[in-house]
Chain A
């Protein structure tokens, strides 16, 4: 009798255990699925959240710039300069109608400014357009630069973009990206209290 009980017991129990095990493995796979989807979702969100600004076409990068102070004139490797040794006084940000000294401008770059230089012989309307581009902006320098290799050159610390046309949309993007941007060696440094009196700001 005991043997027969054992035999009738087993199939029912086995089936019930199989169903139970099936449910359990279903739950397990469901949880694994939720976790995988969650991780994928988080990665997707973080990917889209990070600054997806495509690199500016024509942007030049010059790394390894020195940062020290000197009162001597400096020979810079780039025209206009994008970094290196510089004067202890920074050039006050703003719009200038006369050239400013490289050694002061470079210090302003160190403080996070974008320095836009233009060929002095550009027509007044073009100069006005450049001024309109930077007017009201923080941490920008605009000045004529004799001997500039292109009509307009935008520089930030270690970065440079040459453009032919003041209406080039890359100029506005350069400003938006690099004014107090990630390239700034000295975040928090001021753009006032230095030398120079801009004609406009």
Chain B
């Protein structure tokens, strides 16, 4: 199953650093080697985002993210996992699960559009 892993954090609520927290480079290396991580990257902050809408055939742009939330997206990864348990394990070993939070969302399968 394919999952989108949204790597997020809350600037107002950052837990104390933990020595045991994993290293992101190692995480990427391991998950790439296992064929679990298909792709992924860091994203620039919400202040660099542009939101696009088309209304009445007009392209409307908004400076900033589509939803104003306290939590910010820092990056994303696309995973191929056997099931949710594996996806949870992979996410829980990402350093940002320790320093922030990670949302795991299953992809809609190709044949059920």
A binds B: no
Interface residues of B (CB under 8 A from A): none
Interface residues of A (CB under 8 A from B): none
